[in-house]
Amino acid sequence: MESPNGDYLVLSKTLRDRNQQSLDTLSTRPHPIEYQTHLAQFHKLSSRMSAI
């Protein structure tokens, strides 16, 4: 049987990869303010998730 946080670990890795892609994209483009806001919310969510 799968461990209860197996799916969580996969999700966490997916989010991290997606976040890294976002950062890579940001570094090569102008920074729209909506995107910065989104990224800030994402970081808040990420840190809350990694605290679990």
Query: Which tens digit of pLDDT belongs to each residue from 21-43?
Result: 877 776 666 656 677 787 788 88
Question: pLDDT > 90: what percent of the chain?
Answer: 0
For the chain, give the longest Cα–Cα distance. Answer: 47
22-47 per-residue burial string, b: 16 or more CB within 10 A, e: under 16: eeeeeeeeeeeeeeeeeeeeeeeeee
In a domain, 2, yes or no: no
* pLDDT for the residue numbered 7: 78
pLDDT value at 2 more than 60: no
pLDDT value at 15 more than 80: yes
Q: Which domain holds residue 41?
A: 11-50
Count: domains in the chain: 1
In a domain, 6, yes or no: no
Contact (CB, 8 A) for 21 and 52: no
CA 29 to chain centre: 19
In a domain, 4, yes or no: no
